[in-house]
């Protein structure tokens, strides 16, 4: 945690916060001292002037205390939230530049939590630290010192009270913390069962298992309730017991202090002040013990954030990058082997093919056969182990990432749209695209109809992730977006899966007939035979190996894997 | 306060407390409060005891400073007496303090403290049971309700909305019942009690102390709403930023592929700066409240010390009383702050309760007999007669639709994505009722049998492979509770489930987890098929697989489905040519309604939508 805070929190601000806190605490602590003066020198001696004097002094110190407090809160608020801002920024920049490897390693949802919740945790703890956590020790030390000054002998009481308190707090935590943790799990369980009841409502009703669901929920509910009763019962000891310990301390001070006063070893006013200090000591001790509850939680967040900041992408730009020239589009895989980080087996073995402008290559194979992996090598989302991927005759490793991404237009499996208008989404890869160009792309992507039916046309709003469009529409918009960007290679990674047969077919027809796209290489990854059948070359992948390469007719005649795929989709006798 | 607000900002989405101190106002405060309290009425005696205990505990607690103050007075008396004697020239080692009397006082105080502590503990202990039991029942009732509302409710309310009511709102209610209720009572009692004690010591000093109340109210009334406003702004910025993070991380591939890194970083930083601005202000204002209250309190304290000191030296008030009074002054403002906070908490809780009650007040599924006489010895397994249907408030999707299904027939449902193929399933399973005409199962209108009876004839295998978090075995048994182990094993074998399950380390006892990461999507599909085998229905509803599964599993799924279809009447949402062509009847759907029905040949002959759809599969010159 310290590592995270370093450099991201100004030393001066932290120092200032501590300083103001010291001022706040000290002037607060001085108040009981003045009270005792009022009693000792004012009341006991009947000096009313002195009482007024001491009283105004008290007001003065209160004022100093509040001013210091406000300054402390101000600095604490600015630095802690500033820490959050800087952390978010650093993590965000880091993650945006991650390659696929790092994204897979941590996982998108985990990265999101780390950037959001974990940072909020850290900044909250920083805020608490600059307020509560430094207040507790200062108050503890200050009050102890002053109490000792008032009367050294009475301080012995703390030698008994503090350990009792420590043992008690420790004991309660020992029993309560595991139960609190269990409670979190049991809450999750209730939520899970309830959510499953929502998502599965049709299945549950169709199978007439309402009663079973009810019982399943009741089990979770009962389990939680029993645990909660246990936890809160333990906690209900806490408050009265703490009050009792404090009151007991007060009584002991009165009793022992009385004897000291009788022996003329102490003044009455000091007794009153001592009591106040005693309370402050016990309160700060309790506050301090709370710190031990918060620190581990924040520490866990800090570890998760550091993990992200420590990850470095292995994909580096070359020292002297080459530039793409005006050569015609082409795509080549030359004896490519690829392995995922730390993987035992190669994910792609000996992939070799060449494509020139105007050609379409399709890739087919089962799940896990390496189709997506293969196309991910084209825009250099991963680096090959051996061999070479080249676009327009240039090795993708020899140019900057920016340049290769300029040449390759990529449609990933998941159609991610972004908040904004349709036009903004369409201009994603080509900020200068005109409305005509956009409509043309939308037409090829079979989206012209539904976009023009929208009230706002190109200015229609796109919600987060494209939530206001159906899966098929999102996919078509993502395709259009890729087409607006002029590129040498277009990659469609299983981008037609949410489309029905008819739309799929129309789209591919429009794609291959477009004059502009005919100057490029088109790569299509597909699941359905009908999607890939029209391609110039079909690559058949099985467990990372290229087991077939050729046209539909060739492969259908003599490739067993391809035949198997055909058979799984169309039974014999269905063929025309 | 500071701790409270941090907790609030940690609480994530959802209404009520989670919104970072923004209070939502309930529509019908007293009505909802009364209704919430009726949930506790069965534990009324317990509640009365809790309140009594809380009051007694507070009363004991409040009296102690005054009693303990008497001890101080005794000490001070002794000191003054001693001083006077010393001045009179009487030498002494010990000041004449009456320790017997002090001992008496201390024993009384100890007893009072103990009593207060025990009553306070008992109060909490009983309240925990009352509140947890109440929330338990409320949760149970909500879950029961979810089982009774029509499917329509699920279709018109998002899962997120229902979940937030069931979880955030319920939590809100739980913690308020657990803590705030007794806190409210103790705060009120403390406030009144402290006032009472102060008055009993000196009305003049009380008046001085009371001067601080308007000041406290100013702080609570002016600063607190400001802090709420900033918290709302912070929460909003945080929400927007989190959305941006979520969207951009999920679409990180696209960002990179389109060279948009710098652009997104710029917009992110803009939002991040906005958040910072709102956040530090929110933290600052809320952090200042506590010192401000202390300051106000200190002002009262100082004047009490001054005036009290003067009065003590004049002998109008004893020192012990003044000591007690000063303690009271410090306790005085606490209940005010607490009550102000509680007012917000309780409002947001009642708003939560309102949202939960809104669900509980939804209409149950209704059952109205059709009034259509049963046909004796009907040869049709299913018959749709003059069916009319449209979702509530939307266009009519079906008008005068007729279809006869003989036992063992297969009906294929085809159409483009989003054509509304689930509508048929909704009607057959009676998730929705027809608005006109009749659906008959073996001659009897489906509305004239219970849903249980009707559904016992059906089983579904959908693409949405819903399985619950439990063992594989229990999931298979889901199809039929009474199924014997043999039947289940048989079903598992028929659905190609047995072989892969045996390879899992825990076999049939493997617990499926929420993300279903321990088995593949295809294997999940096989499990749903096996589950349908176990159910052994007369009529099957089947949604053919199109999701990405590997070739081998896909073959398995098809085998299993074919086996399941044997000798059963079936409705199949068809994607494969073979299914379509083998069907006895094909229902063609588009834009939610049925547009054509017939056999493959008759539909091709019509040369309508179906023929177009069918031919389009062979787009290019290539024949598959």
Which DSSP category does A459 fall into?
A: G
Distance (Å, rounded) from C-alpha B397 to C-alpha B426?
A: 13
pLDDT higher than threshold 70 for residue B419? no
Q: Tell me what percent of chain A is helix, strand and coil, each rounded to the nearest 5.
A: 65, 10, 25
Residue A113 or residue A523, greater confidence? A523
DSSP state of B375: P
Q: Answer whether A31 touches B (CB < 8 Å).
A: yes
Share of chain B above pLDDT 70, in %: 91
Q: Please give the pLDDT value at position B547.
A: 54
Picking from B53, B99, B252, B327 by the largest number of A CB atoms within 10 A of its own CB, the best residue to mutate is B252
B163 against B21, higher pLDDT: B163
pLDDT, mean of residues B243-254? 87
Average pLDDT on A503-531 reads 85
pLDDT confidence of residue A522? 93
Among B4-13, B294-303, B434-443, the range scoring the smallest mean pLDDT is B4-13
pLDDT greater than 90 at residue B357 = yes
Tell me the per-residue pLDDT of B78-129, one tens digit each, with 9 for 90 and over: 888 888 888 888 877 777 888 888 889 999 999 999 999 999 999 989 989 9
**Topology of the domain comprising A330-571:** Rossmann fold (3.40.50)
Confidence at B172, pLDDT banded by 50, 70, 90: confident
Q: What is the pLDDT of residue B485?
A: 92
Q: Taking 70 as the threshold, does the pLDDT of residue B15 lie above it?
A: no
Per-residue pLDDT at B21: 44
Mean pLDDT, residues B57-83: 86
| Interatomic CA distance for residues A127 and B8, integer angstroms | 14
Check residue B19 and give its pLDDT.
Answer: 36
User: Is A414 part of the contact surface with chain B (CB cutoff 8 Å)?
Assistant: yes
The whole-angstrom distance between residue A295's C-alpha and the CA centroid of its chain comes to 20
Residue B21 CA to residue B8 CA, distance in Å, equals 6
Among B463, B495, B500, which residue's Cα sits nearest to residue B479? B495
B251–A465 CB contact, under 8 Å: yes
Domain extents in chain A: 2-310, 330-571
Per-window interface: A 242-281 vs B, CB < 8 A: 243-244, 247-248, 250-251, 254-255, 257-259, 261-264, 268, 271-272
To which residue do tokens 């929208």 refer?
Answer: A454
Nearest CB to A43 within list B10, B75, B309: B309
Token pair recorded at residue A438: 């956009």
Give pLDDT, residue A575.
39
* Cβ within 8 Å, pair A533-B622: yes
pLDDT at A294: 74
- When mean pLDDT is compared across B19-33, B300-314, B423-437, the lowest value belongs to B19-33
Please check whether residue B592 is in contact with residue B397, taking contact to mean a CB–CB distance below 8 angstroms: yes
- pLDDT category of residue A569 using cuts at 50, 70 and 90: low
Mean of per-residue pLDDT scores for chain B: 83
The pLDDT, as a whole number, for residue B359 is 92
Which of A254, A17, A121, A12 is closest to B6 using CA atoms? Answer: A121
Q: How many CB pairs under 8 A join A and B?
A: 460
Highest mean pLDDT among A295-299, A525-529, B166-170, B369-373: B166-170
Instruction: Return the minimum-mean-pLDDT range out of A79-93, A310-324, B11-25, B433-447.
Output: B11-25
- What is residue B11's predicted lDDT score, i.e. its pLDDT? 33
Q: Residue A535: name the closest of A374, A375, A362, A371 by CA.
A: A362
Among chain B residues, the shortest Cα distance to A378 is held by B257
Mutation target to probe the A interface, by most A beta carbons within 10 A, among B60, B227, B547, B619 is B619
Mutate to test the interface with B, among A47, A93, A203 (most CBs of B within 10 A): A203
- Residue of A498, A503, A529 lying closest to A414 (CA atoms): A498
Angle between helix axes A119-128 and A48-96 (nearest 10 degrees) is 160
Q: List the strands of the sheet with B398-405, edge to edge.
A: B398-405, B382-389, B436-441, B444-445
Q: Give how far the C-alpha of residue A273 lies from the chain's centroid of Cα atoms, to the nearest Å.
A: 50
Predicted pLDDT of residue A20: 93
Query: In the predicted model, what is the mean pLDDT of chain A?
Result: 86
Q: Could you tell me the maximum CA-CA distance found in chain A, to the nearest angstrom?
A: 118
* Arithmetic mean of pLDDT, A440-467: 88
What is the Cα–Cα distance from B103 to B107, expressed in whole angstroms? 6
Tell me the pLDDT band of B17, cut-offs 50, 70 and 90: very low
**For the structural domain made of A2-310, what CATH number should be given?**
1.20.1560.10
Nearest in space to A23 (alpha carbons), one of A65, A76, A60: A65
Exposure on the CB side of residue B351, measured as CA atoms within 13 A: 19
Residues A101-154 pLDDT 10s: 888 778 787 888 888 888 988 888 888 888 888 888 888 888 888 888 888 888
Task: Reply yes or no on whether the pLDDT at B624 is more than 70.
Answer: no
Question: Residue B214 and residue A50: Cα distance in Å, rounded?
Answer: 29
Subunit contact A38:B458, Cβ cutoff 8 A: no
Structure confidence by residue, pLDDT tens digits, B561-592: 888 888 899 998 877 767 788 889 998 888 77
Q: Assess A86–B contact: CB distance below 8 Å, yes or no.
A: no
**B487/A532: higher pLDDT:** B487
Q: How far apart are CA A142 and CA A31, in angstroms?
A: 13
**According to the model, what pLDDT value does residue B7 have?**
33
What is the mean pLDDT of the segment spanning A361-365? 90
pLDDT of the residue at B280: 92
pLDDT of residue A576: 36
Question: Which residue does chain B place closest to A124, by CA atoms?
Answer: B6
> Can you give the pTM of this predicted structure?
0.75
Could you write out the DSSP letters of every residue in A392-421?
TTEEGGGS-HHHHHHHEEEE-SS----SEE
> Residues B413-432: what's their mean pLDDT?
80
Q: Are B283 and B225 in contact (CB under 8 A)?
A: no
pLDDT in tens, A10-27: 888 889 999 999 999 888
């Amino acid at each position: 945690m310290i590592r995270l805070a370093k450099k991201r929190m100004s030393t001066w601000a932290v120092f200032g916060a501590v300083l103001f806190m010291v001022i706040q605490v000290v002037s607060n602590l001085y108040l009981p001292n003045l009270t005792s003066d009022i009693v000792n020198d004012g009341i006991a001696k009947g000096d009313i002037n002195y009482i007024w004097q001491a009283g105004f002094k008290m007001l003065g110190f209160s004022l100093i205390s509040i001013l210091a407090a406000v300054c402390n809160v101000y600095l604490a608020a600015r630095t802690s939230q500033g820490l959050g801002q800087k952390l978010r920024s650093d993590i965000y920049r880091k993650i945006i530049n991650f390659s696929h490897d790092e994204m897979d390693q941590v996982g998108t949802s985990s990265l999101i939590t780390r950037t959001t919740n974990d940072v909020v945790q850290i900044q909250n703890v920083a805020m608490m630290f600059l307020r509560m956590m430094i207040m507790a020790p200062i108050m503890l030390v200050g009050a102890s010192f002053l109490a000792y000054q008032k009367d050294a002998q009475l301080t012995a009481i703390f030698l008994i009270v503090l350990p009792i308190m420590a043992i008690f707090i420790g004991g309660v935590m020992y029993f309560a913390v595991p139960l609190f943790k269990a409670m979190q799990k049991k809450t999750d369980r209730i939520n899970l069962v309830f959510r499953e009841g929502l998502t599965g409502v049709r299945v549950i009703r169709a199978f007439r298992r309402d009663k079973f669901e009810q019982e399943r929920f009741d089990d979770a509910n009962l389990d939680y309730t029993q645990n909660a009763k246990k936890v809160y019962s333990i906690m209900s000891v806490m408050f009265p017991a703490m009050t009792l310990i404090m009151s007991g301390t007060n009584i002991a001070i009165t009793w022992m202090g009385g004897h000291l006063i009788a022996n003329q070893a102490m003044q009455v006013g000091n007794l009153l002040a001592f009591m106040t200090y005693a309370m402050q000591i016990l309160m700060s001790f309790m506050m301090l013990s709370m710190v031990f509850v918060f620190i581990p939680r924040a520490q866990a967040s800090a570890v998760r954030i550091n993990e992200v900041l420590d990850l470095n992408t292995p994909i580096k730009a070359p020292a002297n990058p080459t530039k793409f020239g005006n050569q015609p589009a082409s795509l080549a895989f030359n004896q490519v082997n690829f392995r995922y980080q730390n993987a035992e087996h190669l994910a792609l073995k000996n992939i070799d093919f060449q494509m020139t402008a105007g050609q379409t290559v399709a890739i087919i194979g089962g799940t896990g056969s390496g189709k997506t992996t293969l196309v991910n090598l084209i825009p250099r989302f991963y680096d090959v182990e051996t061999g070479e991927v080249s676009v327009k005759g240039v090795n993708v490793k020899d140019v900057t990432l920016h340049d290769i991404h300029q040449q390759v237009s990529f449609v990933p499996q998941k159609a991610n749209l972004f908040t904004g208008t349709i036009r903004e989404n369409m201009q994603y890869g080509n900020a200068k695209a005109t409305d005509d160009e956009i409509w043309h792309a939308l037409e090829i992507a079979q989206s012209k109809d539904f976009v023009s039916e929208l009230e706002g046309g190109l200015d229609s709003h796109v919600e987060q992730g494209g939530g206001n469009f159906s899966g098929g529409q999102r996919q078509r918009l993502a395709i259009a977006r890729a087409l607006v960007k002029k590129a040498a290679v277009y990659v469609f990674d299983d981008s037609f899966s949410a489309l029905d047969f008819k739309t799929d077919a129309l789209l591919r027809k429009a794609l291959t007939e477009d004059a502009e796209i005919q100057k490029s290489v088109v790569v299509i990854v597909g699941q359905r035979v009908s999607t890939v059948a029209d391609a110039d070359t079909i690559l058949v992948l099985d467990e990372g190996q290229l087991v077939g390469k050729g046209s539909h007719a060739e492969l259908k005649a003599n490739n067993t894997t391809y035949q198997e795929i055909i058979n799984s989709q169309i039974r014999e006798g269905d063929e025309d | 306060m500071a701790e409270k607000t941090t907790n609030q900002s940690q609480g994530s989405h959802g209404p009520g407390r989670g919104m970072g101190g923004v209070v939502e106002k309930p529509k019908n405060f007293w009505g909802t409060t009364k209704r919430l309290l009726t949930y506790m009425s069965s534990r009324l005696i317990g509640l009365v005891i809790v309140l009594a205990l809380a009051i007694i505990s507070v009363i004991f607690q409040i009296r102690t400073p005054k009693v303990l103050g008497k001890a101080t007075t005794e000490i001070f008396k002794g000191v003054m007496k001693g001083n006077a004697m010393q001045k009179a020239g009487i030498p002494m080692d010990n000041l004449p303090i009456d320790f017997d009397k002090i001992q008496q006082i201390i024993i009384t105080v100890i007893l009072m403290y103990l009593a207060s502590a025990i009553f306070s503990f008992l109060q909490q202990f009983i309240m925990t049971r009352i509140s947890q039991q109440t929330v338990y029942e409320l949760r149970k009732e909500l879950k029961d309700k979810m089982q009774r509302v029509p499917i329509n409710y699920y279709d018109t309310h998002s899962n997120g909305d229902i979940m937030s009511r069931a979880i955030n709102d319920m939590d809100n209610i739980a913690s308020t019942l657990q803590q705030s209720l007794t806190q409210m009572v103790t705060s009120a009692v403390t406030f009144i009690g402290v006032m009472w004690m102060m008055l009993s010591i000196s009305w003049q000093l009380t008046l001085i102390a009371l001067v601080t109340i308007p000041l406290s109210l100013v702080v609570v009334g002016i600063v607190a709403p400001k802090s709420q406003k900033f918290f709302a702004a912070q929460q909003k910025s945080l929400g927007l930023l989190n959305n941006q993070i979520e969207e951009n991380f999920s679409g990180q591939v696209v960002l990179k592929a389109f060279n948009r890194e710098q652009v997104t970083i710029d917009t992110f930083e803009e939002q991040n700066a906005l958040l910072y601005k709102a956040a530090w202000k929110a933290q600052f204002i809320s952090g200042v409240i506590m010192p401000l209250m202390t300051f106000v309190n200190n002002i009262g304290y100082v004047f009490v010390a001054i005036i009290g000191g003067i009065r003590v030296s004049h002998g109008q008030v004893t020192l012990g009383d003044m000591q007690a009074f000063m303690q009271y002054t410090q306790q005085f403002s606490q209940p005010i702050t607490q009550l102000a906070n509680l007012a917000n908490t309780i409002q947001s809780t009642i708003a939560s309760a309102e949202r939960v009650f809104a669900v509980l007040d939804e209409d149950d599924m209704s059952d109205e007999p059709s009034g259509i006489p049963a046909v004796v010895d009907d040869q049709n397994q299913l018959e749709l007669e003059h069916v009319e249907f449209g979702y509530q408030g939307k266009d009519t999707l079906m008008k005068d639709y007729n279809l006869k299904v003989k036992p063992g027939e297969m009906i294929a449902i085809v159409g483009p994505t989003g054509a509304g193929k689930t509508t048929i399933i909704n009607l057959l399973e009676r998730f929705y009722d027809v608005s006109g005409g009749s659906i008959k199962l073996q001659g009897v209108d489906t509305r004239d049998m219970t849903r249980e009876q009707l559904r016992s004839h059906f089983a579904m295998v959908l693409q949405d492979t819903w399985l619950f978090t439990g063992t594989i075995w229990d999931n298979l048994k889901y199809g039929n509770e009474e199924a014997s182990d043999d039947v289940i094993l048989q079903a598992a074998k028929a659905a190609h489930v047995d072989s892969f399950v045996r390879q899992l380390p825990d076999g049939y006892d493997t617990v499926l987890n929420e993300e279903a990461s321990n088995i593949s999507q295809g294997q999940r599909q096989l499990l749903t098929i096996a589950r349908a085998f176990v159910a052994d229905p007369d009529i099957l509803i089947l949604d053919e697989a199109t999701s990405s599964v590997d070739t081998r599993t896909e073959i398995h799924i098809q085998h299993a489905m074919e086996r399941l279809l044997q000798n059963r009447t079936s409705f199949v949402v068809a994607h494969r040519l073979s299914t379509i062509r083998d069907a006895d009847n094909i229902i063609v759907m588009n834009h939610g309604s049925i547009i054509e029905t017939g056999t493959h040949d008759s539909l091709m002959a019509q040369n309508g939508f179906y023929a177009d759809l069918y031919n389009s599969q062979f787009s290019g010159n290539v024949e598959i």
